[in-house]
Chains A and B, each alone.
Chain A
Amino acid sequence: MIGNLDYVILQQIWWILASVVGALFLFLTFVQGGQTLLWQVGKTETEKSLVINSLGTKWELTFTTLVLFGGALFAAFPKFYATSFGGAYWVWILILFTFIVQAVSYEFRKKPNNLLGAPVYELFLLINGSVGILLIGAAVGTFFTGSNFTLNDYNQVKWTHPLMGLEAAFSLFNLSLGLFLVFNARVLGAMYLVNTIDFSGMTEFETRVRKACLMNLLYALPFLLYVLVSLLVMDGFGFDGKGVISMVPHKYLGNLLAMPQVLGLLLVGLVLVIWGVVLTSLKGSDKGVWFGGLGTVLVGLAVFFTAGFNNTAFYPSKADLQSSLTIYNASSTHYTLTVMTYVALVIPVVLAYIAWVWRQMNAKKLNVDDVTGDKAY
């Protein structure tokens, strides 16, 4: 059945699937955002414990989604995986380091005799939530601003910038995208904490969290505006019927106009995020995270679709235009994409049990008694 689909359709399906995983990851960065809020909203040990324990049941979901994002790109777009990881070496290495230190921090932070002491593990969480997300944003930014590499006849990558990927963080556009993601993660983090923590008797704590949600949206706005305006005016990397890459004036504005659904996703997504903040910070609701989360997913989808669809090179090379990667020249074969599409049919099952367990675990809000038990982080 799936094997009869056109190669082009399969390549597009896999760009959509990779985008969905990437967009879900952006939603799940509420964990990273929450980590950076730890000191700001948690003034006492109990408050900090509530934050950590609330995030502690979800950090692995975010982590696993990032790993799956890497795995899905490896399987579906191996040329991207090989080119980007093997060339933009240092940006990826630094991102990975921030996730390595995150993975032990929840478990080790409060355990007696933990060698480094709780503040160091909290610092690890802060680094992961700030530097980690900033660099991921910068790396995604290169989907639009391009990178410095060439591919030879055997498709082997040669990076042409001495900073080996870190140069991504020195572009104003990439940096703004990164900072927007950092602040958006903090907005989502605050929404999630409001959704999961039982604040009875801790009004000051609650006020701090709700206020952080609004403030971080305000911090995010200038960066968001800079990214959006740049995106509308910048030239982009397009390709013609023969796959020849060229610079196209106002390429991404053109993409949004050519794909009004994507423009719709972007606008609806942004409105939903803002509505989530209104609910959380102004209306006293605890349901903001669902709007903020869905909004972030939609914005994420719009970003990835704009980068990859409508004859656009999603991983362009500034050094050699013709080395740029498109979803058509970077994908696996028809056979592999077919196999992977069959495997992807279990994704709804995975999403279903994640949602079910989430409901079971979050049915009752986290209170002070929960974090004093022996299984608390």
Chain B
Amino acid sequence: MNQIDLNMVDWARAQFALTAMYHWIFVPLTLGLSFLCAFYESLYVRTGKEEWKKIAKFWMTLFGINFAIGVATGIILEFEFGTNWSNYSWMVGDIFGAPLAVEGIVAFFLEATFFAVMFFGWNRVSKGFHLFSTWMVAIGSNLSALWILVANGWMQHPVGMIFNPDTARFEMRNFWEVLFSPVAIAKFTHTTSSSFIVGSLFVITVSSWYLLKGRNTEMAKKSILVASVFGLLSTAYAGLTGDESAYVNAFTQPMKLAAYEGLYNGKAKADLVAFGILKSEKMPGDDTNPFLFDIKLPGLLSLLANRDASSFVPGIKDLVYGNTLEKIVGVNAKMERGKMAIADLAAYKNAKKSGDTAGSAQALEKFTVNKDYLGYGYFAKPEESIPPVKLTFYSFHIMVSLGCFFTFFFLVFLYLGYKNSLERHRWLLQLGFISFFLGMLASQAGWVVAEVGRQPWVIQNYLPVHIGTSNIAAGNVQATFFMFLGLFTLLLLAEVKIMLKQIKIGPEEV
């Protein structure tokens, strides 16, 4: 574990961010719109009314265009772990590979097989079988989200595994712990419910445009009704699971929590920052106020993080430099033990290589004492353990504010849609028209919180990001970065143009 090319890490990071964020433009829409298509088609099958069929087919057309580019941008992510992060892949492949393979077996084939029926089966299979296929596509898509989020959840909170010093890698010991890890569950429920919101907002955006233009009004109003019910239920669920995610962060990734709350100095009865502007000159060690301006809700952070309003929530300073009073071991102390672990591991391997049984047993014993701090040994200074605070903080606050806003947004659309008076409120339709873009912003911001907030770890507490890269020159990753940027941008432009044209064409006469 040597020759770290820092430039390579940053390009590999940039490429992952680029490809994942491009992929994430399409995925929430697939997850949400697939269920909405299934609802519309179910209404058609139950009522037998042709108008619902036309509505279902219209949204399916848009779904299909989006799905294709989602698949195109998705394949690279599965293989990028190997191309740019091969050390990571080897060290954790025993655990991380499994959910990816399960995803292929149980989810991708469901999507791929029934997608063909959904699009080409209208005249080839029975009505019931077609509806079944549409539901299978929705379930398959969301099942694939489950498995990839189990994999991601494990990186954020590694459970069910041990470190094997002989192979220098992590090995799975309990599959159920990996699958039912609280982080994995919170991730899956929060990600899918927030994607349902994005799908619902997409329907409202397109339908609002029709209403503003005064065309396809019946179809638009019917679509909005179903989407606002689904959206409203999803905001409630996203709120609950979001709260659960923060609660889980408090004991699995306290540094991430501190970063997205802008909490530098930990305290009891900690306040929740509802709005804040961070000072750029703030350093983690000093005791100055990190905020230029803020609005705080007293005691709420302690309540949300620990379910106890008087509890202590550690800040960035406590986590980096330690806090004896609260019995928090700082990164500086963990680094020392980590460096011992690295040295003992090397001694163990050398002794084993030269056939020194006594020496290897002794080194292994020493290693075992500090093995849980192994990852900290790769830091040069304790401050490296702090994620980019500003980016994490602002992304988190954008996500939460928009999430709260969507609750009221869906309520209003549902109420006025039910009263059939949406067209009388043009400003609301204008807001509806841009709502999908706000949803996309919130959704992307959520991933920024999750992934930037867990830096510098690729496996929380065990493996810093820079240890996980492939041993290749940065130029390769740089080149592929621009290749992906160019190609994905081109495909996105094509997708948007096609989508806009299809929306302009619209469903026939509903």
**Which A positions have Cβ atoms within 8 angstroms of B?**
53, 56-58, 60-61, 63-64, 66-68, 70-72, 74-76, 78-79, 81-87, 89-90, 92-93, 96-97, 99-104, 106-108, 111-116, 153-159, 164, 332-333, 335-336, 339-340, 343-344, 346-347, 350, 353-354, 357, 360-361, 363-364, 370, 373, 375
Residues of B within 8 A of A357 (CB): 113-114, 116-117, 133
Determine whether the beta carbon of A67 is less than 8 Å from that of B86: no
Residues of B within 8 A of A61 (CB): 109, 112-113
Tell me, yes or no, whether B283 is within 8 Å of chain A by CB: no
Closest A-chain residue to B112, C-beta based?
A: A60
Determine whether the beta carbon of B65 is less than 8 Å from that of A332: no
Determine whether the beta carbon of A87 is less than 8 Å from that of B86: yes
C-alpha spacing A159/B68, complex, angstroms: 34
Residues of A within 8 A of B100 (CB): 71, 74-75
Give which listed residue, B96, B122, B490, contacts A375 with CB less than 8 A. Answer: B122
C-alpha spacing A76/B129, complex, angstroms: 36
Determine whether the beta carbon of A82 is less than 8 Å from that of B173: no
Residues of B within 8 A of A57 (CB): 116, 120
Closest B-chain residue to A376, C-beta based?
A: B120
Determine whether the beta carbon of B97 is less than 8 Å from that of A107: no
Q: A111-B65, A114-B497, A332-B93 are in contact. Are A96 and B79 (CB under 8 A)?
A: yes
Name the distance in Å between B463's Cβ and chain A's nearest Cβ: 12
Name the distance in Å between B330's Cβ and chain A's nearest Cβ: 28
C-alpha spacing A60/B68, complex, angstroms: 10
C-alpha spacing A121/B213, complex, angstroms: 33
Determine whether the beta carbon of A86 is less than 8 Å from that of B86: yes
Tell me, yes or no, whether B395 is within 8 Å of chain A by CB: no
Determine whether the beta carbon of A115 is less than 8 Å from that of B494: yes
Residues of B within 8 A of A370 (CB): 123
C-alpha spacing A353/B111, complex, angstroms: 12
Give which listed residue, A67, A107, A360, contacts B117 with CB less than 8 A. Answer: A360
User: Which of B101, B120, B133 counts the most chain A CB atoms within 10 A?
Assistant: B101
Name the distance in Å between A161's Cβ and chain B's nearest Cβ: 12
Name the distance in Å between B475's Cβ and chain A's nearest Cβ: 10
Determine whether the beta carbon of A63 is less than 8 Å from that of B98: no
Name the distance in Å between A310's Cβ and chain B's nearest Cβ: 25
Determine whether the beta carbon of A78 is less than 8 Å from that of B116: no
Tell me, yes or no, whether B49 is within 8 Å of chain A by CB: no
C-alpha spacing A370/B202, complex, angstroms: 30
Residues of B within 8 A of A75 (CB): 93, 97-98, 100-101
Closest A-chain residue to B494, C-beta based?
A: A115
Q: A64-B104, A100-B75, A346-B105 are in contact. Are A164 and B483 (CB under 8 A)?
A: no
Closest A-chain residue to B87, C-beta based?
A: A156
C-alpha spacing A120/B355, complex, angstroms: 62
Tell me, yes or no, whether B431 is within 8 Å of chain A by CB: no
Determine whether the beta carbon of B78 is less than 8 Å from that of A101: no
Can you sample 22 A-B contacts with CB below 8 Å?
A56-B120, A60-B116, A64-B111, A67-B78, A71-B100, A75-B100, A78-B94, A81-B89, A85-B82, A86-B85, A89-B83, A92-B79, A104-B72, A107-B67, A112-B505, A115-B490, A116-B494, A158-B471, A335-B175, A357-B113, A360-B121, A361-B124
Residues of A within 8 A of B353 (CB): 153
Give which listed residue, B79, B84, B125, B497, contacts A70 with CB less than 8 A. Answer: B79
Tell me, yes or no, whether B487 is within 8 Å of chain A by CB: yes
Determine whether the beta carbon of A64 is less than 8 Å from that of B109: yes
Q: How many of B's residues come within 8 Å of A, CB to CB? A: 80
C-alpha spacing A344/B500, complex, angstroms: 42
Closest A-chain residue to B69, C-beta based?
A: A104
Tell me, yes or no, whether B420 is within 8 Å of chain A by CB: no
User: Which of A56, A70, A86, A108 counts the most chain B CB atoms within 10 A?
Assistant: A86
Q: A56-B120, A155-B168 are in contact. Are A82 and B109 (CB under 8 A)?
A: no
Residues of B within 8 A of A354 (CB): 109, 113
Name the distance in Å between A213's Cβ and chain B's nearest Cβ: 24
C-alpha spacing A266/B173, complex, angstroms: 39
The 5 closest A-B pairs by CB, nearest first: A86-B86, A78-B93, A85-B82, A75-B97, A103-B72
C-alpha spacing A4/B172, complex, angstroms: 17
**Total A-B Cβ pairs within 8 A:** 256
Tell me, yes or no, whether B103 is within 8 Å of chain A by CB: yes
Tell me, yes or no, whether B275 is within 8 Å of chain A by CB: no
Tell me, yes or no, whether B502 is within 8 Å of chain A by CB: yes
Tell me, yes or no, whether B491 is within 8 Å of chain A by CB: yes
Determine whether the beta carbon of A107 is less than 8 Å from that of B1: no
C-alpha spacing A116/B495, complex, angstroms: 11
Tell me, yes or no, whether B493 is within 8 Å of chain A by CB: yes
Determine whether the beta carbon of B172 is less than 8 Å from that of A333: yes
Residues of A within 8 A of B89 (CB): 74, 78, 81-82, 85-86
Give which listed residue, B69, B124, B498, contacts A360 with CB less than 8 A. Answer: B124
Determine whether the beta carbon of A86 is less than 8 Å from that of B83: yes
C-alpha spacing A96/B502, complex, angstroms: 29
Determine whether the beta carbon of A86 is less than 8 Å from that of B87: yes
Residues of A within 8 A of B83 (CB): 85-86, 89, 92-93
Determine whether the beta carbon of A72 is less than 8 Å from that of B86: no
Determine whether the beta carbon of A83 is less than 8 Å from that of B86: yes
C-alpha spacing A81/B471, complex, angstroms: 14
Determine whether the beta carbon of B97 is less than 8 Å from that of A344: no
Determine whether the beta carbon of A74 is less than 8 Å from that of B93: yes
11 additional A-B pairs beyond A61-B112, A82-B87, A104-B68, beta carbons within 8 Å, are A64-B111, A67-B78, A86-B84, A86-B470, A99-B75, A102-B72, A103-B71, A104-B494, A111-B502, A156-B1, A339-B98
Determine whether the beta carbon of A113 is less than 8 Å from that of B124: no
Give which listed residue, B90, B173, B497, contacts A115 with CB less than 8 A. Answer: B497
Give which listed residue, B79, B101, B114, B120, contacts A343 with CB less than 8 A. Answer: B101
Determine whether the beta carbon of A157 is less than 8 Å from that of B471: yes
Give which listed residue, A78, A114, A156, contacts B498 with CB less than 8 A. Answer: A114
Residues of B within 8 A of A87 (CB): 86, 470, 472
Residues of A within 8 A of B81 (CB): 74, 81, 85
Closest A-chain residue to B502, C-beta based?
A: A111
C-alpha spacing A57/B97, complex, angstroms: 29
Residues of A within 8 A of B97 (CB): 71, 74-76, 78, 81, 332, 336
Q: A67-B104, A68-B105, A343-B102 are in contact. Are A106 and B68 (CB under 8 A)?
A: yes
Tell me, yes or no, whether B466 is within 8 Å of chain A by CB: no
Tell me, yes or no, whether B476 is within 8 Å of chain A by CB: yes
Tell me, yes or no, whether B106 is within 8 Å of chain A by CB: yes
Determine whether the beta carbon of B101 is less than 8 Å from that of A68: yes
Determine whether the beta carbon of A336 is less than 8 Å from that of B171: yes
Determine whether the beta carbon of A154 is less than 8 Å from that of B1: yes
C-alpha spacing A66/B175, complex, angstroms: 25
C-alpha spacing A339/B94, complex, angstroms: 11
Residues of B within 8 A of A364 (CB): 124
Determine whether the beta carbon of B115 is less than 8 Å from that of A60: yes
Name the distance in Å between B54's Cβ and chain A's nearest Cβ: 11
Tell me, yes or no, whether B312 is within 8 Å of chain A by CB: no
Determine whether the beta carbon of B108 is less than 8 Å from that of A85: no
Closest B-chain residue to A344, C-beta based?
A: B105
Determine whether the beta carbon of A60 is less than 8 Å from that of B71: yes
Q: A81-B93, A86-B87 are in contact. Are A71 and B476 (CB under 8 A)?
A: no
Determine whether the beta carbon of B109 is less than 8 Å from that of A111: no
Name the distance in Å between B347's Cβ and chain A's nearest Cβ: 13
Closest B-chain residue to A334, C-beta based?
A: B171
Residues of A within 8 A of B124 (CB): 360-361, 363-364
Closest B-chain residue to A333, C-beta based?
A: B171
Name the distance in Å between B191's Cβ and chain A's nearest Cβ: 20
Determine whether the beta carbon of B480 is less than 8 Å from that of A93: yes
Determine whether the beta carbon of B494 is less than 8 Å from that of A114: yes
Residues of B within 8 A of A67 (CB): 75, 78, 104, 108
Residues of A within 8 A of B324 (CB): none
C-alpha spacing A158/B173, complex, angstroms: 29
C-alpha spacing A260/B36, complex, angstroms: 55
Tell me, yes or no, whether B438 is within 8 Å of chain A by CB: no
C-alpha spacing A43/B250, complex, angstroms: 65
Residues of B within 8 A of A64 (CB): 104, 108-109, 111-112
